[in-house]
Structure 1
Amino acid sequence: MSSSNTSSFQALGRLLRYARGYRRHIIAASTCSIINKLFDIAPEILIGIAIDVVVNKESSFVASLGFTSAQSQILVLGLLTFLIWAGESIFEYLYQILWRNLSQALQADLRQDAYEHAQRLDMHFFESRSSGQLVATMNDDVNQLERFLDGGANAMIQVVVTILTVGLVFFVISPLIALLAFTPIPVIVWGAFYFQKKAGPLYADVREKVGNLSTRLANNLGGIATIKSFTSEAREAERLRQASEEYVQANRKAIRISSAFIPLIRMAILFGFLATFMIGGMMALDGELNVGAYGVLVFLTQRLLWPMTGLAAVVDQFERAMASTRRILDLIAEPVHVRDNVTTPLPQPVLGAVSFDNVQFRYGNSGAGVKGISLEVPAGHTLALVGATGSGKSTLIKLLLRFYDVQHGTIRIDDHPIQEVSLNSVRQAIGLVSQDVYLFDGTIRDNIAYGRPEATDDDIIEAARTAEAWGFIEALPEGLDTAVGERGVRLSGGQRQRLSLARALLKDPPILVLDEATSAVDNETEAAIQRSLRRIGHNRTVIMIAHRLSTIVHADQIAVVQDGEVTEQGTHDQLIARDGHYAAQWRVQTGAAADTV
């Protein structure tokens, strides 16, 4: 998603635009950082003034302010020192509170906005991205930015304040020494920008490797049963080791650059310090420079240059944060193609009539899809879709739910084009039970009531009875309070499928979609689901995708889909009489084909 060619300063600009709602907070935190640094520099100046008082007494700089005795001058300097140290402490407390609160608020907003935007993205986005990369962006990248705001932002501001303030004092006291002391600054700044240029792509690569590592961990932990059954523990451990090693190597390249930067700064600092120490000392010996002023310059040279040894760490932290910022903001900027721009809902009550009128759609990556499909499902009727895997059956369901938008043609509910009513009202009218059942980590009650969190236990139990799930729920020691585990791992496949059906029924949608809901269950569960469907099919539109033709013989209409087109259509008896593809499949599944051989 992110581009390593985008500069870190552009990423910072994007972050500041995103955080414009925190502008006053940022200004307040920056102001406290600046004032704290001014107080921090002041003691070195007071030391020089104190030396001036001790050496020159009644002729000192403080004496010119009206304090004639050396004792009164020392007392004044002592009072100033107390006020300066107190001020420094107060503003350090304030800037830490402000920056840390800002980092917490901003990281929470970024994570929430990234997640909420991700929920609005098209299914194509999730089908082309790994969940590990997305989790790394919303979690690790956000945390990386938080760490920078906690301390790095303040450090960068204070480095700039130090250079400007100390530079002003130097040029007031001695322009010559100022020029000599500031000679290393261009070298240090050049080094910082050189490091930034070299390190930017390296840290973008580090963030990419973190995502890959997260993906590997998520996949392996999710597929631990498969790994164990194939005794592939050693192989998967080696794959994880390789992903981890790639992350380590990416970090090592970045560390190599940052480590080389510190010795460069140290040598530049040594030159500036020696220039002030030696030339300023000679000038003081010759009487060209006040002894107190010389002391100020020596102390301020340390204050100016030595903190720059930490500039590498600050820039390093900045680069890491901006690499993360690019990934976060790129996710938030990801375009949404299926938009809910219409506020008009489906007129109530929704009867459930569904029509596909010359619907065409093609997936960009594979070219598969549907072409020119037209189907009518009257309200309260059942449509069954059959056909080979990849023929386009599930694509029709995705288009009905507006996971994708049709490229040509129209899908209507109760004669209303679904793109002309709100997306929320379309999906509220449809209950989906898919082959790949997803249960959330929680209780059975939580999962059945997922579509209606306010539902009472009586409503939940009624839905469970209708889905023929109450029998096994009631037998569990904790009943509805039984924890299902992550993805429902503590339940059998048939139990998960019945809970999924109960969840859809509790929603009480006028349109119920079953996407191969019985293909992966045992005969007992299939029979239970069939009994449920016969009860709930009355006064409800049901669209079924099935490979087992025995489950759809009572459907009002059956459509055979091949290569994205409807090739046969009718009732079970009509299609058997036609003796086409459906009849051939029926003979194979019932054993009639074998009997005729």
Structure 2
Amino acid sequence: MKILQKFISYYKPYKGMFYMDMFCAFMLSLIDLAFPVMVSFMVNNIYTRSQSEILKYVILIGTGLFLMYIVRYFCQYYITSWGHIMGARMEADMRSDIFSHLQRLSFSYYDNTNTGKLMSRIVTDLFDISELAHHGPEDLFISLLKIIGSFVILMSIDARITTILFLITLFMIYSSYFYNKKMKSVFKNNREKIASVNAQIQDSLSGIRVVKSFSNEHIENKKFEKGNDAFLKTKENSYAIMGKFFSMNGFFQGILYLSVVILGGIFISNGNFQAKDLMVYILYINIFLNPIDKLVNFTEQYQRGITGFERFLEVINTHPDIVDKKDAIDLKAPKGEITLENVSFSYDNKNSVLENISINIKAGKTVAIVGPSGSGKTTFCSIIPRFYEVDKGSVKIDGIDIRDIKIKSLRSNIGIVQQDVYMFAGTIKENIAYGNPKATDEQIIEAAKMANAHEFIMGLEEGYDTYVGERGVKLSGGQKQRISIARVFLKNPQILILDEATSALDNESERLIQRSLELLSKNRTTIVIAHRLSTIRNADEIIVLTDEGIKERGNHDELINSKGEYMRLYNMQFEQALV
């Protein structure tokens, strides 16, 4: 019931369209029920009269039926067009809700969820929900009206035959219920399997350059075929159940006709029934069976739609683990002092990545974090913008616990330049403007100049309007990195995090970007995760982080003189450079 209540809530913005759709469905049902009544009336009361009277009544009744079918035309038009539009709008609302909700979920959710499977829920599942939203109430309403109306009229013609038909119909309902339960599980399985296929396709196509560089197309084909075959088997299973379902209902419908013909023949032979009444009765049998067909189709449609809606709710009901407190405040004009007090953090409450870390970074200072892979350097920087929630301790900015600051306000004051730069599909201008969507063209160009990107951009055929391709595939690593720095210049944050921003670049690109980063870091609190230790010699403080926590801290000269872990790492890189 909770699932249905949530589903029904999406009709609220479209109550007028819904009620009009139901009214049109009501008129449609009445007109369809009226035709056999008119036929019965004419057979019993008109065709036995004189030729002139028959002609008069035929014209009168014909005109009435013609007007009714004009009304039916407009009702059918509304149901088919605006009914579908209502369903499409509801689908758009649901898609908007799930996308907005996905934006609120934290990194930890995406660490454990495949993007391809999420795409399946946003696109494939919601299409069937749209069809159910439109056709479901309408088909149910029309079917019930026609079944009840035709049943009452059939009872008035002959209660004995109608009682037999009713008993057969009960068997049909039981059969539908039995297969309905089977279809629900098989449709859910179908959705899970197609989501896995979508996930594999997304993964393979995203990594197509790696696939081709290793000549592993055959491996990807095998992986795809495995998922595709699994989906095919579930589809075959579902169609086998559907075949039994529809065949059984078709069988019962045949029994209904057979019962009418046999019982009608027996009653006519006994003089208890007239042949003309049997003709009208058979007309109403068609009206009685048509909505049953609709209900049968509705059963399949309902299971497709409701299993999709259940999967939709699984995402919607996933609560973000990082949210604003009720009394959270905006971070106004921050100085940029960062304090970590006894901070501990682990992923999924398993092995601890950071353990009892305490650091104070003065406003406007540059602090470098170095250490071996897996020591928690990136994690250290991820907890400051509150991408992850610390297990113990607190992170403060200007003495305020970040959990007391609104997330949007906190992250608006922090700029991040990462090693793996993400470019959105679009133009260079659009990608730079991501740092400040309200920026003018002049501000975008100024940011690009400060990032040493303007010159190479103007060298491109379409300049700032150059399309970068998916994930910026048309740009080099150094070019993408400079665009990402221009984004941060445009954002103009007080706190800056540089996560190995130059480690994957050639020497020339690194030199250009290093100049940009030095300019960007000016008068900002800067945290640098460094792979190349030569780039952090001028940092105000260097912190050596290992899996045991903070091993050493001090400036470059102090750490070299202490002849500890930092000196070992530095000498190792120096020796590699000589080789």
TM-score normalised according to structure 2 size = 0.94
Letter in 1 for 2:82: L
Out of 321, 326, 330, the residue aligned to residue 337 of structure 1 is 321
Deviation at 1:111, TM superposition (A): 0.5
Q: Matched residue of 1:591: which SS?
A: helix
Figure out how many residues of one structure are paired with residues of the other and give that number. 578
Q: Matched residue of 1:389: which SS?
A: coil
What's the Cα RMSD here?
A: 2.3
The equivalent residue for 2:152 is 168
The equivalent residue for 2:115 is 131
Decide whether aligned partners of structure 1 residues 153 and 243 sit closer, same or farther in structure 2, where only a CA change above 3 A counts: farther
Letter in 1 for 2:213: S
Question: Does 492-501 or 90-99 show the bigger shift?
Answer: 90-99
Letter in 1 for 2:23: T
The equivalent residue for 1:227 is 211
Letter in 2 for 1:338: I
The equivalent residue for 2:542 is 558
Deviation at 1:120, TM superposition (A): 0.1
Deviation at 1:437, TM superposition (A): 0.5
Equivalents in 2 of 1:332, 1:271: separation in Å?
46
Pairing 1:467-506 to 2, within 5 Å after superposition: 467-506=451-490
Out of 7, 12, 16, the residue aligned to residue 8 of structure 2 is 16
The equivalent residue for 1:49 is 41
Equivalents in 2 of 1:51, 1:281: separation in Å?
19
Equivalents in 1 of 2:14, 2:452: separation in Å?
53
Letter in 1 for 2:228: S
Deviation at 1:72, TM superposition (A): 4.4
2:424 aligned with 1:440: yes
- Contact kept in structure 2, 1:262 and 1:309, CA below 8 Å: no
Q: Matched residue of 2:434: which SS?
A: helix
- Contact kept in structure 2, 1:145 and 1:324, CA below 8 Å: yes
2:74 aligned with 1:90: yes
Equivalents in 2 of 1:547, 1:220: separation in Å?
30
Equivalents in 2 of 1:400, 1:69: separation in Å?
92
Letter in 2 for 1:99: G
Q: Matched residue of 1:183: which SS?
A: helix
The equivalent residue for 1:527 is 511
Question: Does 200-209 or 476-485 show the bigger shift?
Answer: 476-485
Unpaired runs of 5+ residues, structure 1, are 1-8, 59-67
C-alpha offsets along residues 538-588 of structure 1, whole Å, 9 cap, x if unaligned? 211111111211111111111111126212111111111221111110111
C-alpha offsets along residues 281-300 of structure 1, whole Å, 9 cap, x if unaligned? 44345553455543321211
Deviation at 1:54, TM superposition (A): 4.7
- Contact kept in structure 1, 2:431 and 2:483, CA below 8 Å: yes
Equivalents in 2 of 1:365, 1:491: separation in Å?
39
- Contact kept in structure 1, 2:416 and 2:499, CA below 8 Å: yes
Pairing 1:246-395 to 2, within 5 Å after superposition: 246-284=230-268, 286-289=270-273, 292-306=276-290, 308-309=292-293, 311-342=295-326, 345-364=329-348, 366-395=350-379
Letter in 1 for 2:233: Q
Decide whether aligned partners of structure 1 residues 593 and 56 sit closer, same or farther in structure 2, where only a CA change above 3 A counts: closer
Q: Matched residue of 2:369: which SS?
A: strand
Deviation at 1:351, TM superposition (A): 1.5
Deviation at 1:335, TM superposition (A): 0.8
Equivalents in 2 of 1:440, 1:474: separation in Å?
20
Equivalents in 2 of 1:77, 1:593: separation in Å?
100
The equivalent residue for 1:118 is 102
Question: Does 130-139 or 153-162 show the bigger shift?
Answer: 153-162
- Contact kept in structure 2, 1:576 and 1:583, CA below 8 Å: yes
The equivalent residue for 1:61 is none
2:22 aligned with 1:38: no
Equivalents in 1 of 2:409, 2:416: separation in Å?
14
2:19 aligned with 1:27: yes
Equivalents in 2 of 1:543, 1:370: separation in Å?
17
Unpaired runs of 5+ residues, structure 2, are none
Decide whether aligned partners of structure 1 residues 349 and 306 sit closer, same or farther in structure 2, where only a CA change above 3 A counts: closer
The equivalent residue for 1:450 is 434
Pairing 1:196-235 to 2, within 5 Å after superposition: 196-235=180-219
Equivalents in 2 of 1:46, 1:594: separation in Å?
101
Q: Matched residue of 2:527: which SS?
A: strand
Letter in 1 for 2:520: I
Equivalents in 1 of 2:520, 2:4: separation in Å?
56
Deviation at 1:536, TM superposition (A): 2.6
Equivalents in 1 of 2:434, 2:49: separation in Å?
82
Deviation at 1:101, TM superposition (A): 1.6
Equivalents in 1 of 2:563, 2:363: separation in Å?
29
- Contact kept in structure 2, 1:342 and 1:422, CA below 8 Å: no
- Contact kept in structure 2, 1:560 and 1:568, CA below 8 Å: yes
TM-score normalised according to structure 1 size = 0.91
